[in-house]
Structure 1
């Protein structure tokens, strides 16, 4: 399979990049053949995203892909037991002995601090690899996660930002949002916009997602503050705290102000024209002053602008971006920013030099330049030179905040009773709805959730069959339909 991809590489590159794309740095074709084994999710994806370009430049390096797909194909083992994905991946590494592994941030941090990779700084110094143009703070962050040493480099990053409609702010004489605002500050800004008019025609201060429940908004604010409702490592509840009370109160005040727009979850389907679908977003149609979204939303706005170019004022044109709301305690971090596809060289690699050649190329400005012309980029480039547009929007907002550590340690969460997350989420919905409806105080709701959470933590894990039955009962309760297992034939 990989040979087919390599043969197709030159054709694909010519048709997508056309002439005049100088690669530079190509090795002499007579160079000594080398073998390189890379662990990645699947072979096809690897060669499309990285391998074709690299193999065109370095044909003497033969790449074999060790696919990790088999690890994730089933949620349970052969006898129904739970799969330990971390162990399964390590077993695959031990068996295949790849030179390079691709990791997410959690995997990188754990394995780096266990000393399983080669430090890249000596290679960087030897090759005088230029790090000046990389995303600010990225190298320091990767070192921090590696216990002080640089064991890997990401090939891209993703993040969310706060979009704002400059024309609407000007119309109502309201100051523009700025970088590093808190959730409370953004909501106060949203509340300065008028709230009169019919739902489908009025102006909203902020489009806040797809969940109008107090639970959904409070959890979003709590996440930005680095709060979790449970400490899975110690199996203790952490929801009954001042931080959570502030998140719930902030969310409550925001919802009651009617300044926020929420998508109707009961009307998510769409069978009409795609361009009309784009206008369902009130920010796109000039009916929301702010919204939180990722870089893909820029493409959606441009598509709407092109289609409705003759309809003046129908689509937002005068917009800009600032950083997503942050926590006062973590003003330079965001839980909505993360580095993608971190590549590291394994400690036992026998082809470390070739492995570094691969990592240094996909981390180079040259690779970023070439990939900026293709359509299958994996998030943003790690080179800020290619994170900009011709209209001068504040694209620096995408990389100004460094990733915050996830509020939820999912590996540790797997050690809790299987039913904990599902049942506690349901409890949160119920308790916070009582607060939203004015039937309970935030203090009482948080105290009740603390108690219910402790009761769940003390339970034994349910079986998969019992979990499935719980899901069926929950679905039946929400939809008003009888659960399949509840039908009794006499």
Structure 2
């Protein structure tokens, strides 16, 4: 096993190696490739959580079809991990990452445009929904490079705690609400009772409010900040409406905010967030009675939520096993595997109506839940971000200052633009 990898991979690798022989007798997902019998080990760095569900969805089908390929799965959800792999000269053969991570991986020289390889193999990219392919093609440049294939994507939804609504006799949220309608409901369920503060709505963070409008922080071509605008002003003002509902401001105790406030303390009535299914089972055991509706939207952008993180599987530029990596990619994006992805309540990027309709059907957690509401919306076109991390940090702080009444919105957005430009200049100097 490679240096620096054993800690991440040991448990799963043992499972995979132990199950290789057992996997040979399973039904195959596609015809075998001739001449592919030589034993090969591929190291796959995954941004997705490495757990039993991941193993059953993606790893076991590969082993069943190609018993000669051993996948050693390691963690790849932090850029620092990639830097460690690069520095040690132990770059993985494959990756699963989300499209927002493609630019820094491209900067590090880890990935490459795989379009020629797909064409040579006659791989049908027409099976995928165009918006998800484009979220990969235009993540790094405007030239349309395809660094891999989408295997699943996230969604945004509005989760709600039925117990809180029942406690206060307020009607449940419904599909098709605007942000203004959602805020009006939040006002009704933001209350204090028996020294417990119930918060009506948690938006997670202000960038989440900006996403459906396709807002960016820095212009790619000029590398100048573009946050001092009327649209960003609108986002700030909408966010302030949420957090200035009396009693709805984020708590000083982080355990009462966001996912923790909804899942654990169960004092948040409505939460705007991405896929939480894997965490809701435990929350149900502790009494959470929940359901989900379509994510709120802006009136001029009906049925549009924010950025969908498209998870991409691809081969690294330095891999010596491109042919086998392509075989793995074909299995993971096959109709059979993607049907299972959808049935478990993960969003498949394939066009197939049958696969899309199967969403959540095999997940007992979702029985009787309004999963149809989730798929009524679609993601915005993923913006092309540059200097995103440093910009978001500044914008979040300025919004917090605005929500706290420290300054007016125009002043704070002007300050944000100035601070982002200074931070970008520092980063530019580092690259010289």
Partner of 2:267: 282
Choose which of 182, 188, 199 in structure 2 pairs with 1:186: 182
1:323 maps to which of 286, 291, 294: 294
Q: Which residue of 2 aligns with 1:33?
A: 37
What does residue 225 of structure 2 align with? 237
Instruction: Please show how residues 309-320 of structure 1 align to structure 2 within 5 Å.
Output: 315-317=287-289, 319-320=290-291
In structure 2, the CA distance between the partners of 1:228 and 1:25, relative to structure 1 (3 Å rule), is: closer
Aligned equivalent of 2:119 = 119
**Higher mean C-alpha displacement, 226-235 vs 194-203:** 194-203
Preserved CA contact (<8 Å) 1:41 1:67: yes
Query: Cα deviation per residue 1:255-301 (whole Å; 9 max; x = unaligned)?
Result: 222263634346679xxxxx999541224xxxx2x2223443x4544
Distance 1:116 1:333, change over 3 A: farther
Alignment of 1:458-469 (within 5 A): none
2:248 aligns with: 260
SS at match of 1:237: coil
Matched with 1:334 is: 305
1:105 to 90, 95, 99: 99
Bigger Rg over Cα: 1
Q: CA RMSD in A?
A: 5.3
The count of residues paired between Structure 1 and Structure 2 equals: 390
Cα distance 1:461–1:343, how it changes in 2: closer, same or farther (>3 A)? closer
Of 121, 129, 143, which residue of structure 2 is paired with 1:138?
129
1:145 shift after superposition: 4.3
Taking the aligned partners of 2:404 and 2:371, their CA distance within structure 1 comes to 40
**Structure 2 stretches lacking a partner, 5+ long:** 2-9, 138-142, 350-354
Q: Which residue of 2 aligns with 1:54?
A: 62
Q: Which residue of 2 aligns with 1:447?
A: 414
C-alpha displacement of 1:23: 2.5
How far apart, in 2, do the equivalents of 1:63 and 1:36 lie? 6
Given the alignment, which residue of 209, 212, 218 partners 1:221? 209
Q: 1:207 aligns with which of 202, 205, 211?
A: 202
Measure how far apart 1:244 and its partner are. Answer: 1.5
CA contact (8 A) 1:225 1:329 kept: no
- TM-score with structure 1 length normalisation? 0.59
Tell me, yes or no, if the aligned pair for 1:155 and 1:340 is still in contact at 8 Å: yes
Match of 1:9 among 2, 19, 24: 19
TM-aligned CA distance change 1:457 to 1:169, over 3 Å: same
Residue in 2 that maps onto 1:160: 156
In the alignment, what sits opposite 1:292? Answer: 272
Structure 2 CA distance for aligned equivalents of residues 349 and 75 of structure 1: 20
8 Å contact from structure 1 (residues 152, 343) kept in 2: yes
Does 2:329 match 1:359? yes
Cα distance per residue 1:156-202 (max 9 Å; x no partner): 333331113456657645463324x44333223322x1545348435
Deviation track 1:231-250 (CA, whole Å, cap 9, x = no partner) reads 35423222211111111211
1:144 and 1:422 map into 2 onto residues whose CA distance is 20
Is the Cα contact below 8 Å between 1:152 and 1:344 reproduced in 2? yes
